[in-house]
Amino acid sequence: MIRLSFWGAAGEVTGSMHLLEVGGKRVLLDCGLFQGRREEARTKNANFPLDLGDVDAVILSHAHIDHSGRLPLLVKHGYQGTIFCTPATRDLCSIMLPDAGFIQEKDFEFLKKRGHDGLAEPLYTSSDATRVPDLMVTVPYERPLEIVPGVKLTFTDAGHILGSASVVLEVDAAGRKRRVVFSGDIGRTGLPIIRDPKPPAGEADVLIIESTYANRTHESVAEAQALLAKSVVTVARRGGKIFIPSFAVGRAQELIYELHGLARDAKIPELPIYVDSPLAVNATDVFRLHPEVFDRGERLIRETDELFRFRLVKYVRSVDESKALNGLRGPAIIIAASGMVESGRILHHLRNGLGDHRNLVLFVGFQASYTLGHRLQSGAREVRIFGELVPVRAEVATIGGYSAHADRGELGRWAAGLGPRPRRAFTVHGEAEQLEAMAGLLRELDVRDVDVPRFGQSFEV
Ligand SMILES: [Zn+2]
Ligand SMILES: [Zn+2]
């Protein structure tokens, strides 16, 4: 018997976790954290739906927290088996998971100080999270490996973030053979640094596919680059600063890389670029360790080995150095976390800089509802930062083309790139509307049997 069940990113985006059962063996695909409203997410994360002692192996598609963020819980509850992932995913996890634990500890302290009663302990701590990489066995792209009897794993490049993979499982349950493909998160064509997504060609009996932007079309990466250059030129000319709220892992490195390329081609003026985030600085070090997954077709990668070190860029680790940037005169670019302006050093930069009409706040990523980033993007005239009302005189702009997720056209091309149409498909990792859009897209490709699984639903395949 081969059975598939869905325990996260089913009917929603976050908490990616699916279970494959083959002849008594249980293989977990991803073990991600639910994100969103604090209480609701907390309850979902704390109530692990499976008996952990029964899991034989875990496969991790990539390091993003909505795919990896419950691994420390798994380990905390005694999981001793292997977690299979690519080498770059392991290295990213070794900095991102302790950071996720640290945030939970800080959150807990903050709420306690505010006098909240009956608080649940943090799900896990930074030190719980540091134990996860001990269980990781790394498997490069395109190297098949039998992970439990009857299940052979192959990763292909998903082109989404450094080390991200699509997963192919060749399953043999007492002569009953199935090829199961899990897309992971699918990236975009032409994203900086990493290669384009490579759909694992061949007949899939079962396809599990993400749907994040199945009903959207993004601007192209080339358009995004042109907009970035134009913004820098305009703001430098008027003597302002550019504040870029950015995720520390992935987006920050893409920005450094893009600005490096633009500066090298003299498409932007010489101005200092500060990367003000300890996590981003650490993540940049991980990128430097993994040139094997870079896109050799890109000119900058062919021309230099030092993608992230050039004359204009400065990495800021200490809090004092970060605060010193407040006194900076003249044009500059400051890249700081968090990406949605909910926490982190970007807050003190914006408190200091939002009042100056020469400055620009440049969004390069998705801003969820109810975040400070979203309020700024929607044109708020004043915002509250650290309890203080700050007038917004700076320009606010958005570049959409750096999304790490394939849009509708790219998802369709990826699915078609599998070659023969899959016999059966499941759409995951999206809100209801996107899941239905992805299901529709697959039916257009003549996939006859498409399901949108609910949380906890299970299918014999
Ligand atoms: Zn992702
Ligand atoms: Zn995801």
Helix (H) or strand (E) holding 44: helix 38-46
Q: Work out whether the CA dihedral 301, 304, 310, 316 comes out positive or negative.
A: positive
CA 460, CA 365: separation in Å to the nearest integer? 38
Q: Phi and psi (nearest 5°) for 104?
A: -65, -40
Three-state DSSP class for 197?
coil
| Distances 396 to 225, 404, 427 between C-alpha atoms, Å | 17, 22, 35
Domains 2-216+404-460 and 221-398 share a fold: no
Pairing of strands 332-336, 273-276: parallel
What are the φ/ψ torsions at residue 144 (nearest 5 degrees)?
-60, 140
Joined together, the tokens standing for residue 168 give 């192919």
Residue type at 206 in one-letter notation: V
Name the residue ranges covered by the structural domains of the chain: 2-216+404-460, 221-398
Distance 61 CA to ligand 1 centre (A): 9
Closest ligand to Cα 66: 2
Model's pTM, two decimal places? 0.94
For domain 221-398, the CATH architecture is 3-Layer(aba) Sandwich (3.40)
The pLDDT profile of the chain, 461 residues, written as one tens digit per residue, is 899 999 999 999 999 999 999 988 999 999 999 988 878 888 999 998 887 778 999 999 999 999 999 999 999 988 999 999 999 999 999 999 999 999 889 888 888 888 777 677 899 999 999 999 999 999 999 999 999 999 999 999 999 999 999 999 999 998 899 999 999 999 999 999 999 999 999 999 999 999 999 999 999 999 999 999 999 999 999 999 999 999 999 999 999 999 999 999 999 999 999 999 999 999 999 999 999 999 999 999 999 999 999 999 999 999 999 999 999 998 999 999 999 998 899 999 999 999 999 999 999 988 888 889 999 999 999 999 999 999 999 999 999 899 999 999 999 999 999 999 999 999 999 999 999 999 999 999 999 999 999 999 999 99
Q: From the CA of 62, how far away is ligand 2's center (Å)? A: 9
The architecture CATH gives domain 2-216+404-460:
4-Layer Sandwich (3.60)
The ligand with the least distance to the CA atom of 212 is 2
What angle, 0 to 180 degrees and rounded to 10, lies between the N-to-C axes of helices 251-264 and 278-288? Answer: 70
Do 268 and 232 touch, CB atoms closer than 8 A?
Answer: yes
* Distance of CA 67 from the midpoint of ligand 2 (Å): 6
Q: What is the largest CA-CA distance in the chain?
A: 71
Instruction: Output the CA 174–ligand 2 centroid distance in Å.
Output: 33
Beta strands in 159-205 (DSSP E): 165-173, 176-182
Asked if residue 23 lies in contact with residue 173, where contact means CB atoms within 8 angstroms, the answer is yes
